[in-house]
Amino acid sequence: MKIASWNVNSLKVRLEHVCEWLTAQQPDLLGLQELKLTDDKFPVTELDALGYGAVFAGQKTYNGVAILYRKASMPAPLDVQVNLPSFPDEQKRVIGATFGDLRFVSAYVVNGSEVGSEKYDYKMRWLEALRTDLAAWSNTWTKLALVGDFNIAPADEDVWDPAGWGEAVLCSPPERQHFRALLDLGYCDAFRQLPQAPASFSWWDYRQLGFQKNRGLRIDHILLSKTLQAQLKACSIDRAPRKKPQPSDHAPIWAELA
């Protein structure tokens, strides 16, 4: 089974890229973030033509999350839930669904703007709620994958210039502590379970040739429960879509499970 995550930074703009990637890579499950469109604009027909169904929660201009599932290999989704049960919020940031005995959750974590801001405080509260709900979900599902744009670079090796970034947002100690708290619930960072090339990133700024100079951050993650960790065979970041015209500033990350 191949699962994946991708912050597409506008599904309308990046639909062709997504369709090409689905056709080439054939993931069984793909979590999307930053749809930036309302539900009535979601490309159900285009995805169906490729053999994919979807559950989604859109929002105009900002946010929005979805799960795409390959109909040929996955059962129909059950128990679809939007947003965090313990954190009522108008922003569409989380969607989860059950496929057989697997719970799959696509999340778009708050950016936080800058340390000390109101948006950063919101991020801290949101991450605490995510931990609370992940702990509850773990009591129900032993096979659980939490994927998405976490807006957290967990360690200095996930930052192109650790000294330059310092303790800025995305790299601050409280954010990294929240990320570790999720792992402490019995989850692994799939990417770090296997040998990886140095300077492996999933996001690059559009400005100042960020991608061309590989000045990036690894902020997109796949977290696996212990049961799924035992099935992990491969995990990688696919830089190819980032090379296309008008790309998302994020690249997809995928994992293969036995």
Catalytic residue of the set 28, 52, 69, 108: 108
Non-local (6+) Cβ contacts of 81 within 8 A are: 94, 95, 96, 97
Active site residue 161: no
Catalytic residue of the set 28, 133, 149, 249: 149
User: In the Cβ-directed half-sphere of 218, how many Cα atoms lie within 13 Å?
Assistant: 25
Question: CB neighbours (10 Å) of residue 74?
Answer: 20
Q: Contact 62/137 with Cβ under 8 angstroms?
A: no
Q: Dig out the tokens for 104 from the structure.
A: 């799959």
Chain-centroid distance, C-alpha 36: 15
Q: Dig out the tokens for 253 from the structure.
A: 């990350």
Active site residue 28: no
Catalytic residue positions, numbered = 108, 149
